[in-house]
Amino acid sequence: MTIRQALLIVVSLSLCLVARSGRCESPAEVVSVISELDAPSLFAYLSWEGKAKVENGTAIIREANNQGGAGFNSHDQPLALQAFSDTTPAIRVRTGAANEMKSVNLMLADSSEVKGTWQFLLSSPSFDWIWLTAVDGTPLSTPNVRDDKNPEPLKLDKIVQWQLIGDWAGGVAVDLEIDQIALVKPSEMVLASRKVLAEKMRAEANAKKAEQDALTAQYSKRTDLSPQVKHVCLVAPDILSLTIQAGVRFVLAWYRWQLDSTDVAAVHHH
């Protein structure tokens, strides 16, 4: 840990903590630093390859579009962030005059290749450095976007990669400087924003359940003419035959089926 990192952990700074946009509103405390951006990124890809640079402790992305990314691997020394699960990711940025990108994303990946992404809405071009927090003040434990392929929670004690990624919308110009990636203590405004988001998600879940219940009630009523499975048999090593009666008609369906070890044991038993 550098002297600067140690100081940042104990010194309260003025950070951007408005509910949705994450713009600066009230003081907050940097409790951990993910990256000082004081070394070149280990990799960059697509539009950002050769364009994402580090100069004097600042990541600079220019003369590129928003369809690319850059990052750093730390497999040898994983980041242990489990103590900061309730903090909010934040970035210190300056947006250039040529920038047309609306947001930038921070992606973290753990040793099991589980990924989580936090979104930061960018401001209008400015010469001033500002802090941005993740959209809706989402905590480290709950990314804005979860990994579709692996929805398990991030192992925060084994973070082995971080990436900065464009928002991919329209292939527009990027003119952006990022000075630091950090974790900040949530302010009252951020906590209120999280509550609003939780209520919204709960309402959406209730509406979806009500819709599903209505469909179930509409189509689950059975009559004498409702379909019934009359017979199931194995007609080949990998094919099941189903006989279904719907009213006075029979429907014969064939399904390819693969035996697994449990099925094989059951067959031998009988």
CATH number at residue 42: 2.60.120.430
Q: Answer whether residue 148 is part of any domain.
A: yes
Report whether pLDDT(94) > 80.
Answer: yes
Instruction: Tell whether 263 and 138 lie within a shared domain.
Output: no
Of 162, 191, 220, the one marking the end of a domain is 191
Q: Residue 270 CA to chain centroid, in angstroms?
A: 48
Of 169, 191, 213, the one marking the end of a domain is 191
Of 163, 191, 219, the one marking the end of a domain is 191
Q: Answer whether residue 147 is part of any domain.
A: yes
Instruction: Tell whether 115 and 182 lie within a shared domain.
Output: yes
- CA distance readout (Å), 210 to 200, 207, 214, 216, 217: 15, 5, 6, 10, 10
Instruction: Tell whether 163 and 248 lie within a shared domain.
Output: no
Domain count, the chain: 2
Cβ atoms 15, 28 nearer than 8 A: yes
Mean of the per-residue pLDDT values of the chain:
83
- Rounded Cα distance between 107 and 153, Å, is 14
Indicate yes or no: pTM above 0.85.
Answer: no
Please give the DSSP secondary-structure letter assigned to residue 223: -
Segment 109-119 shows an average pLDDT of 96
Sign of the torsion angle spanned by Cα atoms 258, 262, 264, 266: negative
Instruction: Tell whether 251 and 128 lie within a shared domain.
Output: no
Order of strands, sheet of 103-110, starting from the edge strand that comes earlier in the sequence: 43-46, 68-73, 159-166, 103-110, 115-121, 145-146
Instruction: Output 230 or 82, whichever has higher pLDDT.
Output: 82
Instruction: Tell whether 91 and 180 lie within a shared domain.
Output: yes
| pLDDT at 15 (0 to 100) | 43
Instruction: Tell whether 129 and 241 lie within a shared domain.
Output: no
Q: Whole domain around residue 256: which residue ranges?
A: 228-269
Q: Answer whether residue 75 is part of any domain.
A: yes
* pLDDT tens, position by position, 122-160: 989 988 999 999 999 999 999 999 988 888 899 999 999
In terms of C-beta density within 10 A (0-12 exposed, 13-18 middle, 19 or more buried), how is residue 5 classed?
A: middle
- CB contact set of 53 (below 8 Å; sequence gap of 6+): 40, 59, 60, 61
Instruction: Tell whether 87 and 156 lie within a shared domain.
Output: yes
Q: Answer whether residue 49 is part of any domain.
A: yes
Instruction: Tell whether 265 and 157 lie within a shared domain.
Output: no
Instruction: Tell whether 159 and 57 lie within a shared domain.
Output: yes
Instruction: Tell whether 73 and 144 lie within a shared domain.
Output: yes
Q: Where are the beta strands (DSSP E) in the chain?
A: 12-16, 24-35, 43-46, 52-55, 58-65, 68-73, 88-95, 103-110, 115-121, 130-133, 145-146, 159-166, 173-184, 228-236, 239-246, 249-256
